[in-house]
Amino acid sequence: MNRQIMEQYRKSDQYYIDEYDRTTIEELKKIEKLMEKAEKRFFIDEDDPKSPETNTDYIGYRMRYLDTGVEYSRNKESSIRAAIQSDERKDRLIRFHAIPANILCDTCGEDMKFELHDFLQRDSDLIFIFSCPNGHLPKKAVYPNGREYFLPKHTCKYCGSDLVSKKKKTKKKLTLTDTCKVCGKVEVLELDISPRKILPVDEEERKKYCTDFKGRNNFMEDLKRIAELGKFTEVDDNKKKYEFDKVKKLNLPQLEQTLTAQIEKSGFIKLQFDKPKTSRYLTMEFSAQDPTDREPEKSIKALKRTIDTTLFHTNWRLMSPGIDYKLGFLSGQLKGFSLDEDILKIAQEIWEKENK
């Protein structure tokens, strides 16, 4: 009678942390060695701008080192969580499925002996591995329902024909050689099977290669940040140069009050505003009436001059195409700016006109 063997795939949380950190440390050390070799190959005299050597390899490895460390740091939590969930799922499948019975050797007909569990297709399918008590090959892989699993047929990737496979094994290396029966192509795969002694993670290395990358930016993010800092500095300098704070930032009621008073002085009446529209800017249509007997061109010119002069030092501007006139009724559109970058352009416009 087969007895369910309980395999505990789920380890302690620290096990997964250490495994992830070992991989991180190993990968960064490889890049670090490349970086050190590149640094020795090239010499740059930083004090001499005419130094002929350009250490592009070294700079490239430094960028790669930083980006890799940042990527491992950012993916650490999600990768560890995924590994834990995968192992917990394996344990659930093993607990749920009993070992299949009556698995017989095709050579001698004896009951085969259960050896271990395995998983296929990214841990999605559980299989049970059996071996013949008399040593007959091959072993069998069986699904929980007793159906046998067969390895996919290995064919030549060049012509699709059958392969002749050979393997050679030493204490430290397994060499797999596949030769195509038709085209003769040979593929060799060497695997390192030397015993690996797992040592505790060195805490100084963990700090250098893992902890110190937490919260850091990668190369492109650092470059973007530097560019933004330069942009902010330039903006601050321009605000001072063009006297940004002198632009009067009028809200809508203040605009109506200011503009009404000025156009009435110019002989216009009944200034009215339509409902404003909001996007990046605030835009709205306006209308006024001219009770005088001025000609249309003169009436338009007078109202435009009044509006432009009144709003010149403010965050409001008359929109193109300007002002329309019909039988003493004049209309147009105004645009209000609230973003600093737009108001800075207005400040520059004012400064340039006043400092010609």
Residue 328, helix vs strand vs coil: coil
Q: Let me know whether 258 and 348 are in one domain.
A: yes
Q: Let me know whether 263 and 343 are in one domain.
A: yes
Measured CA angle at 261 (ends 258, 267), to 5 deg: 140
Dihedrals phi, psi of 5, to nearest 5 degrees: -95, 125
Residue 160, helix vs strand vs coil: coil
Mean pLDDT rounded to a whole number for the chain: 87
Q: What is the pTM of this model?
A: 0.56
Among 167, 198, 229, the domain boundary falls at: 198
Task: Examine residue 64 and state whether it is found in any structural domain, yes or no.
Answer: no
Using one digit for the tens of pLDDT, what is the confidence trace for 54-108? 555 777 888 899 999 999 999 999 999 999 999 999 999 999 999 999 999 999 9
Residue 7 binned pLDDT confidence (cut-offs 50, 70, 90):
low
pLDDT reported for residue 55: 53
**What CATH number does residue 167 fall under?**
2.20.25
pLDDT value at 231 more than 70: no
pLDDT reported for residue 97: 92
Contact 116, 130 (CB under 8 A): no
Which amino acid type is present at position 184?
G
Task: Examine residue 222 and state whether it is found in any structural domain, yes or no.
Answer: no
Using one digit for the tens of pLDDT, what is the confidence trace for 262-313? 999 999 999 999 999 988 889 999 999 999 999 999 999 999 999 999 999 9
Task: Examine residue 311 and state whether it is found in any structural domain, yes or no.
Answer: yes
For range 222-232, the mean pLDDT: 67
Residue 339, helix vs strand vs coil: coil
| Number of domains observed in the structure of the chain | 2
Where in the sequence is the domain holding 307, given as residue range(s)? 244-354
**What CATH number does residue 342 fall under?**
3.30.70
Which amino acid type is present at position 99?
I
Task: Examine residue 179 and state whether it is found in any structural domain, yes or no.
Answer: yes
- How distant, in Å, are the alpha carbons of 42, 130, 133, 138 from that of 104? 66, 9, 10, 12
Please state, as a whole number, how many other Cβ atoms lie within 10 Å of the Cβ of residue 132.
21
Q: Let me know whether 248 and 350 are in one domain.
A: yes
For range 125-147, the mean pLDDT: 93
Q: Let me know whether 257 and 187 are in one domain.
A: no
pLDDT value at 46 more than 70: no
Tokens representing residue 270 in the block: 């009944």
Which amino acid type is present at position 199?
L
Task: Examine residue 323 and state whether it is found in any structural domain, yes or no.
Answer: yes
